[in-house]
Amino acid sequence: MKLTKSDWITIAKGASLLSTGGGGDLLEARTTYAEVFKINKVVELKKLEELNQTDIVCTAYIAGSIGSFETTTKPLEKAFALLEKLLDKSIAGILPVEIGPGDIAETVKIASVYKIPVIDADFVGKRCSPEVFLETITLKNLSRAPLVITNLKGETKVIKKNLSAEKIEKIVRVFAKNSDSACFVVGYPLTVKEVRGVVGSRTLSLAYSLGKLLQKKNKKTLSAILKLTSGRVLFSGKISIVKSNDDKGFLTGTIKIAGTEKFISEKAEIFLKNESLIFWRNELVELSCPDLICVLNSKSLLGIYNRDLQKGEKVIVLGIPALPIWKTNKGLKLFSPKSFGYDIKPVLIK
């Protein structure tokens, strides 16, 4: 599929819903697309199945606090060129690391510069996550190296060894902290054979379908979203408290919501670590990661970037099931409330 600027913005809108509050915002995506489509009429989107099994794919992303706002992708372009030089092989396509508006836009930018397709898949799996190791490839022990890390100062760090995901996470976060809280990463050169059945497949197509629903918003849109995602409404209300701060390269905190309509006289709370990860209703955990907790503007139904949450804003909170790979014993051991210091068993959509 050869997608235009309008198509990619549609994907960004759908991604805002799936992103669980992270992955960059729509403004960032629009800014990037404005630059990309000054030069290009289309950027291709391909399914993994359309590539050869031995073809190499990779990813590119910004790591650090989502309180940091970056609009340039030049460091990513520099890192991509260095990665290809290290591999001494061409890269057949690039996957977003996660389904967030900004992350996808950064991927499209790299794809447009190097004239390669964006692949209809992502490494986190139909959502965003705050930690490098919270990616589906961790569950299969797939290598992320070589990995190239850069920043706006022009500094570069290369990881050539196949280190553990936790060690890579630490290196990336330290680099981000010393780079005004954000850095740029390109890596995960893997064959199509290695990633098929592991990464989230056709997740950009899902974002596109959601974006189309959001563009034609009517009284049936919310029901259509729930049907398409197998999701459910967890809560609706008005944000009463936002407590967040940049901490060690993450945006962390909580938001509290006072219920309205059928949730009147009820209250809800969400724990954030870049993304929305645990949802309480009337002080009881009702949903947790790895399932998706999506905070939407009640009028537009677009997902709200957690950096932009505002007291008094009217919201709807949706719960959407995670990919099956995250609901395996190994997946839940890696990605659950305990991963963030909460002694809580995962509460998931059945």
Q: Is the pLDDT of residue 100 over 90?
A: yes
Q: What is the CATH number of the domain that holds 119?
A: 3.40.1610.10
Q: Are 182 and 176 in contact (CB under 8 A)?
A: yes
Q: What is the pLDDT of residues 122-131, one digit of tens each?
A: 999 999 999 8
Co-location of 150 and 184 in the same domain: yes
Q: What is the pLDDT of residues 65-83, one digit of tens each?
A: 544 445 566 888 888 889 9
**Cis bond before residue 117 (omega within 30° of 0):** no
Q: What is the CATH number of the domain that holds 226?
A: 2.40.390.10
Residue 294 sits at φ, ψ, to 5 deg, of: -115, 120
Co-location of 229 and 166 in the same domain: no
Q: Does 145 fall in a domain?
A: yes
Co-location of 193 and 241 in the same domain: no
Of 201, 230, 261, the residue that ends a domain is 201
* CA separation for the pair 230, 250 (Å, rounded): 30
Q: Are 186 and 59 in contact (CB under 8 A)?
A: yes
Q: What is the pLDDT of residues 145-188, one digit of tens each?
A: 999 999 988 899 999 998 888 898 889 888 988 887 778 889 99
Co-location of 181 and 226 in the same domain: no
Q: What is the pLDDT of residues 1-44, one digit of tens each?
A: 899 999 999 999 999 999 999 998 999 899 999 999 999 999 99
Q: Does 345 fall in a domain?
A: no
What is the model's pLDDT at position 71? 58
List, in order, residues 6 or more apart from 347 with CB less than 8 Å away.
285, 286, 287, 288
Co-location of 225 and 125 in the same domain: no
What is the overall mean pLDDT for the chain?
A: 93
Provide the whole-model pTM.
0.91
Q: What is the pLDDT of residues 269-291, one digit of tens each?
A: 999 999 999 999 999 999 999 99
Q: Which residues pair with 186 in a beta bridge?
A: 60, 148
Co-location of 190 and 260 in the same domain: no
Query: What is the DSSP code string of 264-314?
Result: TT-EEEEEEESEEEEEEETTEEEEETTSEEEEEETTT-PBPPGGG--TT-E
Domain total in the chain = 2
Co-location of 185 and 227 in the same domain: no
Q: Is the pLDDT of residue 350 over 90?
A: no
* Domain range for 310: 219-340
Q: Does 162 fall in a domain?
A: yes
List, in order, residues 6 or more apart from 118 with CB less than 8 Å away.
43, 44, 45, 46, 93, 94, 95, 96, 104, 107, 108, 111, 204
What is the model's pLDDT at position 67? 47
Co-location of 227 and 145 in the same domain: no
Q: What is the pLDDT of residues 212-266, one digit of tens each?
A: 999 999 999 999 999 999 999 999 999 999 998 876 668 899 999 999 999 999 9
Co-location of 179 and 225 in the same domain: no
Of 154, 169, 201, the residue that ends a domain is 201
Co-location of 232 and 196 in the same domain: no
Q: Does 245 fall in a domain?
A: yes
Residue with tokens 């992103």: 19
What is the model's pLDDT at position 248? 67
